[in-house]
Amino acid sequence: MENILGAVRYGIKISKKEKNPDERVTYIHDAKDLQPARMNFDTGVFEYGSWQGRAFAAPENNYPCMVKADGTEDYKLMQEDYTKKEDGAESDVVNADYAGNAMAAFKGGWLCQYETETDEYIIWSNIKYDDGYNAYHRTAPDGVIREGFYRRIYKPALLNNVARSISGQQSMYSKNATQERTYIKANGEAWEHTSWWEWNYIICLLKIMAKSEDLQGAYGNGNMNGYVNDAAQHYGILTAGTLNDKGQFFGYNTNNQQVKVFHTEAMWGDQWERICHMICDKGVVKVQPYGDGNFTGAGFETVFDYADLGIKASASGYVKDTVMTKAGRFFKTFGGSSSTYTCDYGYINPTIVSAPLVGGDCDYGLNCGAYVHLSNTAGSACWYVAPGLSCIMPNAAQQ
């Protein structure tokens, strides 16, 4: 099936035994002769390697824009300056009275994830190559595959009881999942917490582009140590928009500045991001491919049970071994470090029904990154948690 007409597949193979985060990743399929992307912290320039204008990173497939409350795209923002529209006119990115939000558009794509005894695989394709590929990252609640999805550029601020992605604002916090959803839905029915599928999709693309497990080393540390024990200083969480003029990707190797990937600020660091469509029900990982995104797990599909791995009490640490399933990648064992294996931390409490938090906060240091935290209930409300914010695209996908 290597020569399906029109198919383009960019993939990586990850060696389970190799410790080095760069050497354990190999390009496969149409990526085999490409050069990886990486932030050059010395020059302050993001080096795309072979990825500038390619596939999921192309400007027609990932761009900043303003999206109206009804879910329709209003206009594109200038890629290197969000304060301007694409045509150079002043944008509404800082306008709290604008009836909508600043969003990053993600169009197209199919994703395949699986493992063998020795390796794990992540493959992006422009078409549904076979039945192992899904597009749940852009599947609407009714099960219809859309052209893509919109994800917040900024961590949501609470403005007039609405969760808003607007530059220059301070993010919301100390709300539980139900309250967050109320504020998200106040935008309109098209709006929702960012889903597990959307988050997993972006993490997979980042690993493919970087050809590495070390996302902080490739894209930037994020605000991982900026915490201040003072609510008046917003606990050290950065005000939205510090990277408005830095383009699609940008980061620092400092410990208290923002990171941006695919036009999305704070993919890790600053605050944990609460997401939906995946829960850990007393150690049983369950996912919902599409639907209401509830936080109880009702109607979800079981992926695996941590009890089968011998994990029956709270456990955490830098992740060494993972399981790569068609529903995403999940940690199995600990014993790695910030510079070996996945370079990511993990945490699980299998005695509760946990709603996933991802990314880390400004008091977590190098633990931040593709960190999945399964130890908070949907009822938890803390300064270090903000909701994800996404919106379905209204138009049907081109199959």
137-169 confidence digits (pLDDT tens): 999 999 999 999 999 999 999 999 999 999 999
- Name the helix (H) or strand (E) containing 201: helix 196-210
* Contacts of residue 83, Cβ cutoff 8 Å, sequence gap at least 6: 90, 91, 93, 94, 167, 244, 245
- Provide the pLDDT for residue 397: 39
The pTM for the full model equals: 0.97
Q: Which residue has the tokens 């085999």?
A: 32
- Provide the pLDDT for residue 39: 98
- Provide the pLDDT for residue 5: 74
- Provide the pLDDT for residue 1: 44
- Provide the pLDDT for residue 36: 98
Residue 298 tokens read as: 């009702």
Contact predicate 239/269, CB 8 Å: no
Other CB atoms within 10 Å distance of the CB of residue 192: 24
* Contacts of residue 394, Cβ cutoff 8 Å, sequence gap at least 6: 71, 72, 146, 190
* Contacts of residue 235, Cβ cutoff 8 Å, sequence gap at least 6: 173, 227, 228, 229, 362, 383, 384
- Provide the pLDDT for residue 3: 61
- Name the helix (H) or strand (E) containing 178: helix 177-185
Q: What is the C-alpha separation between 62 and 364, in angstroms, rounded?
A: 29
> What mean pLDDT value characterizes the chain?
96
Q: What is the C-alpha separation between 196 and 293, in angstroms, rounded?
A: 10
Task: Report pLDDT digits (tens) over 355-394.
Answer: 999 999 999 999 999 999 999 999 999 999 999 999 999 8
Q: Is the pLDDT of residue 241 over 60?
A: yes
Identify which of 275, 278, 29 has the alpha carbon closest to the alpha carbon of residue 133. 29
- Provide the pLDDT for residue 399: 39
Q: Which residue has the tokens 């996933």?
A: 356
Q: What is the DSSP letter of 35?
A: -
For 260-282, what is the mean pLDDT?
98
User: The dihedral of CA 137, 369, 271, 269: what is its sign?
Assistant: negative
Q: Enumerate the domain spans of the chain.
A: 9-210
Q: Which residue has the tokens 């005695």?
A: 351
Instruction: Measure Cα distances from 227 to 238, 261, 363, 385 in Å.
Output: 10, 22, 5, 13
Contact predicate 213/321, CB 8 Å: no
User: The dihedral of CA 55, 60, 273, 354: what is its sign?
Assistant: negative
Bigger pLDDT: 75 or 5? 75
- Provide the pLDDT for residue 398: 41
